[in-house]
Structure 1
Amino acid sequence: MSIVERIFHSVLLEVLAVTFSVIGLAIFTDHKIEALSGTMIVIATIAMVWNYIYNWFFDQFAKGDKLSRSFGLRIMHVTLFEVGLLVITIPVMAYLLAVSLWQAFIMDIGVTIFITIYVFIYNLVYDHVRAYVIQRRSQSLTCEGSR
């Protein structure tokens, strides 16, 4: 993937994640769309910053070839990332939506489960759509070249 495509992939992922999270929270809570939208934008921004910081620290701990990391280390990596993110975002969500820490925890767990499934599906669909587009472009160029 080119840098432009990676940026497109990331921005589309985040825009859709925030949109779907807001819709889900709006269905299951009585908060206004505006409050949920602002909160999810803040949470997404925190997640991006946390991702950078956490992975920098994790790479200091887990030195060596990243491709040779064990399954167990990868499970530990994602678990610690998500726990750390929850510790950071639960108080923020509680504050921004004026709910208790327990309510924010329940909402944040729901968003975390949703985002985990969403990212898996998003990347699966994106990869297939990308392969289809590349194949169609290749066929189009082959047809034009034979004229």
Structure 2
Amino acid sequence: MTLRERLFHAALFELLAIIFSVIGLMLLTEHSVSSLSGSMIAVAFIAMVWNMAFNAAFDRLVPGKRENRGWLLRIGHVAAFEGGLLLFTVPVMAWILQVSLWQAFILDIGVTLFITLYALIFNYCYDHSRAYLIRKGHYQPVTAY
């Protein structure tokens, strides 16, 4: 994927993730919508930067057509991505929500479990939609950067 497509992929993923996460946390916690939105926007920004770096490295380590990746590889990809992301996001959530690191970890684990399932579904749909558009001639991918 090109840098432009990586940015589109990451931005679309994070926008939907923010919306779904804030709604879920709003229903499950007593935090205000504004603090939840602020924490999820910060987490999404961190995740977007991590997404760009992690996926560029992953695509170099696992070349080939993305739509041909099996479920086991997809699960490993998401687990490695989300595990690395926790290292960056727990302190941020603790600071914004004014909770302990343990409480932030528990909240972040809940978000991570949801996002893990969401990421599997989103990336499967994205990869197959992209492949379909390429096959139909509606999209011409440029050689990756």
TM-score, shorter chain, exceeding 0.5? yes
> Residue type matched to 2:29 in 1?
T
- More helix as a share of residues: 1
Output aligned runs, 1:1-147, within 5 Å: 6-52=6-52, 66-67=61-62, 75=76, 79=79, 81-129=81-129, 131=132
1:26 Cα shift?
A: 0.7
- Structure 1 outlier segments of 4+, above 6 Å: none
> Residue type matched to 2:110 in 1?
G
| Percent identity for Structure 1 against Structure 2 | 52
Contact 2:79 2:116 in 1 (8 A): no
Cα gap change, 1:86 to 1:6, in 2 (>3 Å): closer
Distance in 2, matches of 1:126 and 1:117, equals 14
1:13 Cα shift?
A: 1.2
RMSD: 3.6
SS of the residue aligned with 1:99?
coil
1:44 Cα shift?
A: 1.3
Distance in 2, matches of 1:52 and 1:67, equals 15
> Residue type matched to 1:14 in 2?
E
Q: 119-128 vs 93-102, which deviates more? A: 119-128
Distance in 2, matches of 1:112 and 1:40, equals 12
Contact 2:94 2:101 in 1 (8 A): yes
Cα gap change, 1:12 to 1:83, in 2 (>3 Å): closer
1:66 Cα shift?
A: 2.1
Cα gap change, 1:78 to 1:122, in 2 (>3 Å): closer
Offset from partner CA, 1:72-121 (integer Å, 9 cap, x none): 9x94x765543332222112101100112221111100111111110111
Q: Which has the higher contact order (CA 8 A, sep 6+)?
A: 2
Contact 2:46 2:89 in 1 (8 A): yes
Which residues of structure 1 form unaligned runs of 5+? 138-147
Cα gap change, 1:134 to 1:23, in 2 (>3 Å): farther
- TM-score normalised per structure 1: 0.65
Distance in 1, matches of 2:2 and 2:49, equals 22
The count of aligned residue pairs is 127
1:5 Cα shift?
A: 5.0
Cα gap change, 1:134 to 1:19, in 2 (>3 Å): farther
